Structure 1
């Protein structure tokens, strides 16, 4: 297994795999209400079998080169994650996403972790387009997309049915050349 440092604050990015289902469930239980404010992930991970099944679904996606899942650990505790929800090498497109427990918010963990994912997707895998989809009401997620230099491409009105309510989804994206140019300018 590997771990990539996310800075000098004790944060690491690691693969999140089925054998870690108990740790993942404990993390989800700690952040369930907060994480579930905008995304359905806590609704799918409610017990050990569902936690294991969710992690296995991403292990299967990884094996099929169709997605990947990584956890963010802070001082040895799983506090969030980032993922390639969609990964389509043949088309050169992918979608990144994230979640975080409330105690880890405001440290830049998501921005740092997603930066690593985008670097890998663009530089190693040759992805041309990286997308970010967020509920229009999820201001922190939209701020991450802006910090990453993504462009807001549009809104899918009432496209996301969540807990019986339809929400607008904002589509943000960046192209490989834009990412490389922004990185060179930093």
Structure 2
């Protein structure tokens, strides 16, 4: 599966052959990503990324998640997709990360917009959520820019190495997406 966003940007299902590139990108961006992502200490070697990709494939096969590599000018620059898909409630939760070197090109805003279209038009979801650490203003700007509603805050929602962070929950309903078209 591939979603072409424009001539420079596309999303593609993560695959086992991506392991080396994804691990290298993770490793090169480790300190940058560690500020907001809790899994870096569990991704210390190539085998960890291979296990992650296997889990992504199983999640897709179970229709419970969808992990995609972000391709910018044919190079993997990050991961985005649905960390969770709840088919009975028709709700998907988007997650994403982008390497430090790929920042500043509007990649993630375009990626999340494409994921919204896929969620509502292909997966036929009713709602899409994004959960972001309260102080992660760069990441919060994405759902805010795309017209998500801020629905609330979950206190101490995530352990980040040595402290808890609150999560702000953003949501968009299919009807709100359709009004933007």
Q: Distance in 2 between matches of 1:22 and 1:122?
A: 32
Question: Is 2:26 the partner of 1:28?
Answer: yes
Q: Give, in angstroms, the shift of residue 19 of structure 1.
A: 2.5
Within the candidate set 27, 43, 48, 2:46 is matched to 48
**Residue in 1 aligned with 2:133?**
135
Q: Which moved more, 1:62-71 or 1:16-25?
A: 16-25
Q: Does 1:4 align with 2:11?
A: no
Given the alignment, which residue of 60, 63, 68 partners 2:61?
A: 63
Residue 73 of structure 1: how far off its partner (Å):
1.7
The range that moved more, 61-70 or 88-97, is 88-97
| Separation (CA, whole Å) in 1 of partners of 2:178 and 2:42 | 36
- Superposed displacement of residue 6, structure 1: 2.6
CA shift, 1:110, in A, is 0.9
SS of 2:10's partner is strand
SS at match of 1:82: strand
The answer (yes or no) to whether the contact 1:6–1:109 under 8 Å persists in 2 is: no
Instruction: Give the TM-score normalised by the residue count of structure 2.
Output: 0.95
Deviation at 1:175, TM superposition (A): 0.5
Whether the 8 Å contact between 2:133 and 2:165 is mirrored in structure 1 is: yes
Equivalent-residue separation in structure 1 for 2:39 and 2:5 (angstroms): 24
2:34–2:40 contact (8 Å) kept in structure 1: yes
Aligned residues: 181
Shift of 1:11: 2.3
Q: Which stretches in structure 2 are left out of the alignment for 5+ residues? A: none
Per the TM alignment, residue 116 of structure 1 is displaced from its structure 2 partner at its CA by 1.4
Match of 2:99 in 1: 101
**Can you list the C-alpha shifts for 1:39-73, whole angstroms capped at 9, x where unaligned?**
12322322111000011111000000000101112
The TM-score normalised by the length of structure 1 is 0.92
Identify which of 64, 69, 72 aligns with 2:70: 72
With 169-178 and 74-83 compared, the bigger mean Cα shift is at 74-83
- Do the aligned residues in 2 keep the contact of 1:11 with 1:74 (CA within 8 Å)? yes
Q: Distance in 2 between matches of 1:148 and 1:44?
A: 32
- RMSD between aligned alpha carbons? 1.3
* CA apart distance, 1:143: 0.1
| Contact 2:158–2:167 (Cα < 8 Å) also in 1 | yes
Contact 2:38 2:159 in 1 (8 A): no
